[in-house]
Chain A
Amino acid sequence: MTAASARVAVCDYCGLPLPGWGPEPAADDQPRYCCFGCKLAAAITAERGAEGHARSTLTRLGLSVFFSMNVMVFTLVLWTWDAPRPGQLADNPAAGERVAGERAAGSDPAADVFFQLLRYLCLLFSAPVLLLLAGPLLESAWQQLQRRAGVTDLLLVLGVAAAFGYSLVSVLRGSGHVYFEVACMVLVFVTLGRWLEATGKLKTTSVLRSLERLLPDRVRVLRDGEVVELPADQVRAGDTLRVLAGERIAIDGLLVRNQGAIDQQAVTGESTPVVKRPGDRVLSGTLNLDGDLWIEASAAAGSSTMQQVIAAVEQAALRGERYQRLADRVAGWFLPLVLVIAAATFGLHAAWHGWQAGLLASLAVILIACPCALGLATPMALWAALGRACQGQILFRDGDALTRLAATRWLFLDKTGTLTTGLSEVEQLILDPDTPGEQVLQVAAALAAGSSHPVSAAVGRYAARHISRVGSAESTSPLNPSNRISNPCSLAGRGVTGHVESLDQPAWLGSPRWMAELGQQPLAADNHPGAHDDHPGLHGPAEVGPRDDGPLDDHSHDGGGELSQVCLAWGGRVRAVFKLREQLRGEAVEALAGLRHLGCSVEILSGDERRRVDRLARSLGIAAQGDLLPDAKLRVIEHARRQGVVVMVGDGINDAPALAAADVGVAMGSGTDISRHSAAVCLLGNDLLRLPWAIGLARQTVRIVRWNLLWAFGYNSVGVLLAAAGWLNPMVAAAAMVGSSVLVVTNSLRLARFELSPSLPDAGPGA
């Protein structure tokens, strides 16, 4: 497994990555949680699974709420009992709370007894809250200390303990303030808030978990001639798996026996099932609809496409993005600052109003500044967006790509494989009259097998189809084994060559220009009577344009609905010309309109002949540059980068340098193999409409992240000032903290519901 596909350590509850932990499981096999809330929530879930747990974590929490509500009511009665005179309240409302719970001596003795009784009731009802909730929080504080992750939890526990301890002494002495309600409410709110956060985190990661759950746990494997059922993680590369109709394929591999229709929607978003035949690649996570498939695993368990996607997203989430790093940096100095402010608040208030006032004010400071919202602001939004993108068949390999994509105004699109279908088909074969067609096809098939380029693939497919046809008539062996190629070599921008054993000489398959360079004599005429023509009616003479660019160069073999040529030559002469056609993608027009609607200017960068590129660009109403060699493309992108964020969209394999040079490289149609290239963004399917969608999602993410951060910063700053001034009751601070976290979580979760198929603006004619 490569480093890029290595899984990162994730929280055992919410699935968010754990920074600073290794991917290997903990030595003691203990579950690991990212926060107190997740631990709590995991405990609740686990207990719900087990039968007969009368005293579950959840019941503890619920009972604490019950007791706290009682304490609150008793406290309210105490507060109204000997309220200050209205005039005092009007002057200083906070004074009402400070004197609450303390009663002027010398009034009615029966009322005095009732008053004391109420104070004891407060004690009685708040003690269970302390017992039930302080323990877990203390444990969390201890872990926080051990991981050197801060002291906020410890300070919270200390504050609560001090409030409770002081109140206890007051009750026993029969005089003095009581702050039971503060202790209870703070504990309840902190616990509830953390749990809600954990629940929110769980929701943001649900998409990825649902992807992972697609993969079956158990598979049928052929071992020693027998099919045995094994856990999927025991499969090794080379194993033969049997997948029945209706089952999902667990591991990437090659189909070796039988054929069947495969639903690839989960991986590529393609809704029409694809028929796979022996020799075809099948992907993990796809659904076998009707065949009894035998598959040779090409990857070991844990490194299949689906798992690579998940691992890549986890990595991206772990690395975060620039707003998150900003928030982390701020949190880095924010925490010590808060501690200083809390200490100062305690000192000043203690000096002016007694140490209880200092305690309450500093507790409020800690509560309000507990940087929950700050810490959650970006990771939650980022994670939700990454998950949603995955659902839309878009893989972000790094969070920064999301931010940059949101800022982009410049898009460069490659033509072939991006705007047009890269899988061109051979439409016409023109043969040299003196060379047998069978031989041409044999040599072409052998050479084409040496390259994975889409055009070679098209030539290979065409040859394979026609060899069997020709072969059945003229020869008994459809594919002559003597057509092996030694020293195959592919030259970027030119084609493939190799020594063909049956000819005992080298042969070349590539662009007409290359043939000219090699001094191979071209064919006499284009429309030779010996041509095989699959679709005689499909192309008019106007569409047949000569071209001098090769098929195997950097995507210059393209043309929207035009014919491209590939020549096959040996012995000083071009023996055949394959004419290929490729089509503009059906959704290209709508996608370009969507991009324009988002305010992006789009330009085609192609290595193809300028005339053809221009014609396509004119029909699409966008700018274009043709005749660009790979380094010229790089220069264009470098130049554009000086003016803003540049996105390059292209075929992940052939456009790799251009993709790497742009601020964001978007690789098209990489659903079949995401490990072969490293573009920051991969469109797993081939749907161009996902491009404007991804930009929309990225912009929405950045909006939400900014809003979250603004809120978290603003709320914390104002809150700390209020708390430091002593105007904020700790109960209110605790409630505000919960509210703030829930707000941020809910806001982020909006991304998880980002419209998957937005209605794009009407694409005008020619738009």
Chain B
Amino acid sequence: MLEWPLVFMAGLLGSSHCIGMCGGFALALGSSSPTLAANLSRQLVYTSGRVFTYSVLGTLAAFGGWRMAAAMPRLVNLPAVLAIVAGGFLVYQGLRSAGWLGRPAKGSASGCLAGSIFSTFLTSPGWSNAFLAGMLTGLLPCGLLYGMLALAASTRNLWLGGAAMALFGLGTAPVMVLAGSGGSLLTLAGRRHLLRIAAWCVVLTGLISIARGCGFLTLEAALVDPSRCPFCP
């Protein structure tokens, strides 16, 4: 159904382009930890909060996709449209981070009202606060996330949608944990290299999603169960 490895890869490599937004949070989170081990576990808890939110969002998106598909079963082939929309989103994001469509805007949550919530959670000690900070981070607007959610919506299955987003979230974990632990294991050149690979990986995921959607569109007649059509006997 889904390109599971690609979803994971999109998270893994795509996350490096999101570090501009979420990396700062991860760093702020780690700043109150005395040791590397404490910081690392705090980062893991933070990441699990994010993965939790992504899964919930994926479930919601899948539910939305299911409801929409149920509401207009024949008129529009919704999964295909969603897959294409998701692909478009991802391609756009990928090209943006690859530098093809101008520099991505530097997002910052500190300017908005929600910023105070984040800073409060990020700097408060305790596991629950780290988890909650991660949970809220997962709600931040992010183009990559929207693309993935559209993908999750196209599954029309709560479990699949949730799992896809969880996988995506897990994919983002390694880079974010590394960024938050302050371990700049990669050189600047290496990071730039990784960034480029990540961007193209996101583009690839998007293209596959679009191709899949187009495939659905042409296979429409064969795939759709005639018993679900309210207009056909």
Interface residues of A (CB under 8 A from B): 44, 48, 54, 56, 58-59, 62-63, 65-66, 69-70, 72-73, 76-77, 79-80, 83, 86-87, 89-90, 93, 96, 195-196, 199-200, 203, 742, 745-746
Contact = CB atoms under 8 A, between A and B. Distances in A.
Contacts of B124: 48, 56, 58-59
Nearest to A68: B56
B60 A72 contact: yes
B219 interface: no
B120 A58 contact: yes
A66 B132 contact: yes
B158 A80 contact: yes
A33 B120 CA distance: 21
Contact of B70 (A48, A89, A742, A746): A89
B228 A59 contact: no
Contacts of A69: 52-53, 56, 135
A91 to B, nearest CB: 9
Given A58-B121, A59-B126, A76-B60, A66 B113 contact: no
Contacts of A96: 67
Contact of A86 (B56, B70, B114, B131): B70
Which label, helix, strand, loop or mixed, suits the secondary structure of the A interface?
A: helix
A59 B59 contact: no
Contacts of A195: 117
B73 A86 contact: yes
Interface string B106-117: 000000111011
Name, among A80, A196, A746, the residue most crowded by chain B CB atoms within 10 Å (CB to CB): A80
B162 interface: yes
B132 A73 contact: no
B53 A77 contact: no
Given A44-B120, A62-B132, A73 B66 contact: no
A62 B230 contact: no
Nearest 10 pairs of A and B residues by beta carbon: A62-B132, A87-B230, A86-B70, A76-B63, A69-B56, A73-B59, A199-B116, A196-B113, A89-B70, A89-B71
Nearest to B126: A54
A73 B128 contact: no
A725 B162 CA distance: 33
B142 interface: no
Interface size bracket, B side: 20 to 34
Name, among B52, B56, B114, B116, the residue most crowded by chain A CB atoms within 10 Å (CB to CB): B116
A79 B117 CA distance: 32
Contacts of A83: 70
Contacts of B16: none
Contact of A200 (B53, B72, B113, B117): B113
Contacts of A62: 121, 128-129, 132, 135-136
A72 B123 CA distance: 28
A59 B73 contact: no
Contacts of A56: 124
A165 to B, nearest CB: 26
Interface in B65-94: 66-67, 70-73
Contacts of B59: 73, 76
A182 to B, nearest CB: 16
A58 B128 CA distance: 10
B149 to A, nearest CB: 14
A66 B135 contact: yes
Interface string B20-63: 00000000000000000000000000000000110110011001
Interface string B90-109: 00000000000000000000
Name, among B55, B71, B72, the residue most crowded by chain A CB atoms within 10 Å (CB to CB): B71
Contacts of B228: 86
Interface in B142-184: 158, 162
Contacts of A86: 70-71, 73, 228, 230
B72 A79 contact: no
Nearest to A83: B70
Nearest to B62: A76
A90 B231 CA distance: 11
Nearest to B159: A77
B114 A196 contact: yes
Contacts of B52: 66, 69
A200 B117 CA distance: 12
12 contacts: A58-B129, A59-B124, A59-B132, A62-B136, A73-B59, A73-B60, A80-B158, A83-B70, A89-B70, A93-B71, A96-B67, A745-B113
Contacts of A44: 120
Contacts of A742: 113
A494 to B, nearest CB: 59
Contact of A77 (B117, B123, B126, B158): B158
Nearest to A84: B70
Nearest to B69: A86
A405 to B, nearest CB: 29
A156 B136 CA distance: 25
Contacts of A87: 230
A15 to B, nearest CB: 16
Contacts of B123: 48
Given A62-B132, A73-B59, A746-B113, 6 more contacts: A66-B52, A73-B55, A73-B60, A73-B162, A76-B60, A80-B158
B113 A199 contact: yes
B66 to A, nearest CB: 6
B113 A79 contact: no
A745 B116 CA distance: 14
Contact of B56 (A72, A80, A89, A199): A72
Nearest to B128: A59
B132 A76 contact: no
A185 B71 CA distance: 25
A80 B230 contact: no
Contacts of A65: 132, 135-136
B56 A73 contact: yes
B132 A89 contact: no
A449 B126 CA distance: 69
A59 B131 CA distance: 10
A90 B120 contact: no
B43 to A, nearest CB: 18
B30 to A, nearest CB: 18
B10 to A, nearest CB: 23
A166 B143 CA distance: 40
Nearest to A745: B113
A203 B113 CA distance: 9
Contacts of A66: 52, 131-132, 135
A230 to B, nearest CB: 35
Contacts of B60: 72-73, 76
A195 B126 CA distance: 22
A741 to B, nearest CB: 10
Nearest to A76: B63
Nearest to A73: B59
B233 to A, nearest CB: 12
A742 B56 CA distance: 24
Contacts of B136: 62, 65
Contacts of B56: 69-70, 72-73
A196 B55 CA distance: 25
A69 B60 CA distance: 10
Nearest to B161: A76
A89 B53 CA distance: 28
A90 B131 contact: no
A80 B66 contact: yes
A74 to B, nearest CB: 10
B138 to A, nearest CB: 10
A121 B129 CA distance: 23
Contacts of A89: 67, 70-71
Contacts of B66: 80
Contacts of A93: 67, 71
B140 to A, nearest CB: 14
A424 to B, nearest CB: 48
Nearest to A81: B158
A156 B112 CA distance: 28
A87 to B, nearest CB: 4
Contact of B63 (A59, A70, A80, A200): A80
